[in-house]
């Protein structure tokens, strides 16, 4: 299959939308990462997503719609608390789980009676969804388990020849996936941290305690059960100051291993190492979030044996950063 690259002009978006209506897959930009879109009401179309990504079929997908009026078409009800959350955070990097009314294909919901739904805040992405006239099931447009794509070229690296097309909307703005909140109970539950922080949600309402990572049961949201975001080389998280981080670099290097580093600008300036990706300043973790997946992909074309990554404060957007780094890493070494 030839994968066509579409620009953001209206004719190109309409052409891509027509392909989705015919059951094909189109990758499109959102404000978080690029999504791999299919008609969420079509079993056959959605199955192509799982095939293209190599994604486990018990891992539910998020449904993307163009506006809040569409949400009502696919859920039993929108409780008052969910209405408040939608008012505050949509369009934006926020996904809410509600009771499904059965109109979304079972392959999207992984057989659950709930559906995860959001309105992306990207003009080209929303225009594309609107042109299809459909709810669009769209996980990240990458090979399952690998870092999510924040640029069209990332999608092409993973899925060229597997999908019908890619709408090139440039680099995404948030860089991490949406926050997923279960809105079916009395209080919202954060199932996956993301672009909307827990602190922002707490400013609107109390939240219930988040569940631990699921291992055996069907996950209710993406990112709860399987490993994700893994770079091509094994990655270890390093907790400690610059001196401790340098010791780890030296120890692995002394074993003959070619070491790469992912670090903040501040830490990078203090380290002596050849292969390093500076992902942004610690005083601006939103910039770190934007660059994180690029960092995890950066060493794909270099011959490194191991990646050592800095850790960040686990609050605000740092909670989402650490969620992704922890899922991507094989181990964690902490300074005593």
Evaluate if residue 336 carries a pLDDT over 90.
Answer: no
* Domain count across the chain: 2
One domain for residues 148 and 266: no
Evaluate if residue 234 carries a pLDDT over 90.
Answer: yes
Q: What is the pLDDT of residues 53-82, one digit of tens each?
A: 987 777 799 999 999 999 999 999 999 999
Evaluate if residue 223 carries a pLDDT over 90.
Answer: no
Give the confidence band of 228 by pLDDT, cuts at 50, 70, 90.
confident
What per-residue confidence (pLDDT) applies to 216?
Answer: 43
Q: Does the pTM exceed 0.85?
A: yes
CATH code for position 50: 3.90.870.10
From the annotation, which residues make up the binding site for L-threonine? Answer: 32, 64, 138, 178
DSSP letter for each residue of 71-99: HTTTBS---HHHHHHHHHH-SSSEEEEEE
**Which residues have a Cβ under 8 Å from the Cβ of 17 and sit 6 or more positions away?**
26, 128, 131, 132
Residue 219 in domain: no
Neighbour tally for 22: CB within 10 Å: 10
What per-residue confidence (pLDDT) applies to 120?
Answer: 98
> Are 93 and 192 a contacting pair, CB within 8 Å?
no
One domain for residues 152 and 250: no
Looking at per-residue pLDDT, the higher value among 219 and 326 belongs to 326
Neighbour tally for 185: CB within 10 Å: 11
What per-residue confidence (pLDDT) applies to 190?
Answer: 96
What per-residue confidence (pLDDT) applies to 59?
Answer: 79
From the annotation, which residues make up the binding site? Answer: 32, 55, 59, 64, 114, 118, 138, 140, 148, 178, 192, 229
Residue 224 in domain: no
Residue 18 in domain: yes
Domain membership of residue 252 as a residue range: 235-334
Residue 184 in domain: yes
Distance CA 281, CA 236 (A): 20
> Are 3 and 163 a contacting pair, CB within 8 Å?
yes
Evaluate if residue 137 carries a pLDDT over 70.
Answer: yes
From the annotation, which residues make up the binding site for ATP? Answer: 55, 59, 114, 118, 140, 148, 192, 229
Evaluate if residue 324 carries a pLDDT over 60.
Answer: yes
Give the confidence band of 214 by pLDDT, cuts at 50, 70, 90.
very low
Mean pLDDT of the chain: 93
One domain for residues 240 and 306: yes
Give the confidence band of 135 by pLDDT, cuts at 50, 70, 90.
very high
Beta bridge partner(s), residue 260: 275, 307
Evaluate if residue 160 carries a pLDDT over 70.
Answer: yes
Q: What is the pLDDT of residues 259-314, one digit of tens each?
A: 999 999 999 999 999 999 999 999 999 999 999 999 999 987 668 999 999 999 99
One domain for residues 145 and 250: no
Distance CA 287, CA 173 (A): 9
What per-residue confidence (pLDDT) applies to 215?
Answer: 46
Residue 207 in domain: no
pLDDT above 70: percentage of residues in the chain? 94
What per-residue confidence (pLDDT) applies to 211?
Answer: 62
Give the confidence band of 224 by pLDDT, cuts at 50, 70, 90.
low
Evaluate if residue 176 carries a pLDDT over 90.
Answer: yes
End-to-end Cα distance, the chain: 53
Residue 274 in domain: yes
pLDDT above 90: percentage of residues in the chain? 87
One domain for residues 173 and 290: no
Phi, psi of 274 (to 5 degrees): -85, -40
Evaluate if residue 225 carries a pLDDT over 60.
Answer: no
Give the confidence band of 162 by pLDDT, cuts at 50, 70, 90.
very high
Q: What is the pLDDT of residues 183-203, one digit of tens each?
A: 999 999 999 999 999 999 999
């Amino acid at each position: 299959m030839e994968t066509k690259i579409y620009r953001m002009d209206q004719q190109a978006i309409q052409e891509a939308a027509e392909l989705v209506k015919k059951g094909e897959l189109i990758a499109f930009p959102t404000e978080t990462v690029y999504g791999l879109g299919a008609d969420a009401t079509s079993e056959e179309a959605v199955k192509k997503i799982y095939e293209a990504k190599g994604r486990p079929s018990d891992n539910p997908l998020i449904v993307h719609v163009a506006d809040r009026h569409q949400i009502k078409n696919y859920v039993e009800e929108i409780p008052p608390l969910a209405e408040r959350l939608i008012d505050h955070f949509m369009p934006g990097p926020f996904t809410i789980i509600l009771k499904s009314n059965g109109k979304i294909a079972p392959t999207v919901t992984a057989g659950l009676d709930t559906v995860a739904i959001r309105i992306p805040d990207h003009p080209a992405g929303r225009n594309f969804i609107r042109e299809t006239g459909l709810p669009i099931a769209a996980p990240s447009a990458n090979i399952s388990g690998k870092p999510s794509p924040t640029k069209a070229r990332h999608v092409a690296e993973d899925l060229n020849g597997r999908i019908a097309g890619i709408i090139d909307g440039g680099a995404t703005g948030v860089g991490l996936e949406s926050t997923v909140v279960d809105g079916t109970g009395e209080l919202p539950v954060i199932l996956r941290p993301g672009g909307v922080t827990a602190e922002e949600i707490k400013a609107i309402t109390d939240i219930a305690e988040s569940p631990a990572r699921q291992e055996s049961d069907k996950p209710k949201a993406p990112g709860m059960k399987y490993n994700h975001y893994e770079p091509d080389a094994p990655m270890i998280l390093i907790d400690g100051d610059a001196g401790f981080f340098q010791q780890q670099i030296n120890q692995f290097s002394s074993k003959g291993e070619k070491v790469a580093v992912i670090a903040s600008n501040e830490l990078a300036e203090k380290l002596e190492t050849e292969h390093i990706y500076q992902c942004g300043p610690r005083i601006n973790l939103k910039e770190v979030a934007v660059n994180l997946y690029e960092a995890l992909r950066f060493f794909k074309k270099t011959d490194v044996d191991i990646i050592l990554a800095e850790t960040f404060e686990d609050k605000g957007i740092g909670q989402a950063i650490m969620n992704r780094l922890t899922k991507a890493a094989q181990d964690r070494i902490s300074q005593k």
